């Protein structure tokens, strides 16, 4: 653990255009580390969906990515409204996004299910009115 690599990003909540910049950078960093392309793709897609969610629903937040020899961990933290019903939010097709978000190509209710699909573990800690922290891991071993 002592030699884990850590990347930290602030995700701007005001700018839909820049959403995904952190994930793009992580993808580049992981490529430089020479990790398998399939792993890189899973990590970057999961993080990208999470980043988009933070911008759409929570006015931004922070993203921390830790790379160890055994796994890659992504921690997405926001101070948004929280998720009222996590079970419902995990269902494919369920979304509280507005039509304007849908017109941008997101809000199909696939974000959280995609994040779970592409990672080996995902934990959601959410408190209404306080914020949400999502911790995802992709195993390397």
Partner 1 sequence: MKISMIRDLLEADVLCCEECLDSDVYSACGSDMMSDVLAYVKDQAVLLTGLVNPQVIRTAAMMDMKCIVFVRSKKPSAAMVEMAEDDGIVMMASDKRMYDACGTLYVNGLIGTKAVHV
**Alpha carbon 3 to its chain's center:** 23
Sequence-ordered list of residues with C-beta below 8 angstroms from that of 53, at least 6 positions apart, any chain: 76, 111, 112
Q: Binder to partner 1 among 11, 54, 107, 134 (CB under 8 A)?
A: 107
| Minimum CB–partner distance for residue 125 and partner 1 (Å) | 23
Site for partner 1 contains 137 (CB under 8 A): no
Site for partner 1 contains 44 (CB under 8 A): yes
Residue placing its CB nearer to partner 1 in the complex, 18 or 79: 18
Residues contacting partner 1: total by CB under 8 A? 29
Site for partner 1 contains 80 (CB under 8 A): no
Strands (E), 17-139: 60-67, 71-78, 121-127, 131-139
Assigned token pair, 56: 């759409």
Query: How many whole angstroms separate alpha carbon 133 and alpha carbon 88?
Result: 17
User: For the chain, first and last CA: distance in Å?
Assistant: 14
Interface with partner 1 (CB under 8 A): 16-17, 19-20, 23-24, 27, 37, 41-42, 44-45, 48-49, 52, 92, 102, 104-111, 113-114, 117-118
């Amino acid at each position: 653990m002592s030699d884990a690599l850590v990347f930290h990003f602030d995700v701007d909540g005001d700018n839909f255009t820049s959403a995904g910049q952190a994930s793009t950078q992580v993808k580049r960093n992981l490529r430089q580390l020479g990790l398998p392309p399939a792993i890189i793709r899973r990590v970057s897609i999961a993080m990208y969906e999470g980043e988009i969610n933070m911008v759409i629903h929570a006015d931004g937040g922070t993203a921390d990515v830790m790379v160890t020899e055994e796994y890659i961990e992504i921690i997405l933290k926001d101070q948004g409204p929280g998720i009222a019903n996590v079970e419902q939010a995990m269902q494919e097709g369920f979304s509280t996004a507005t039509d304007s978000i849908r017109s941008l190509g997101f809000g199909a209710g696939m974000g959280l299910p995609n994040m779970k699909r592409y990672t080996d573990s995902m934990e959601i800690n959410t408190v209404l009115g306080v914020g949400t922290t999502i911790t995802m891991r992709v195993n390397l071993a």
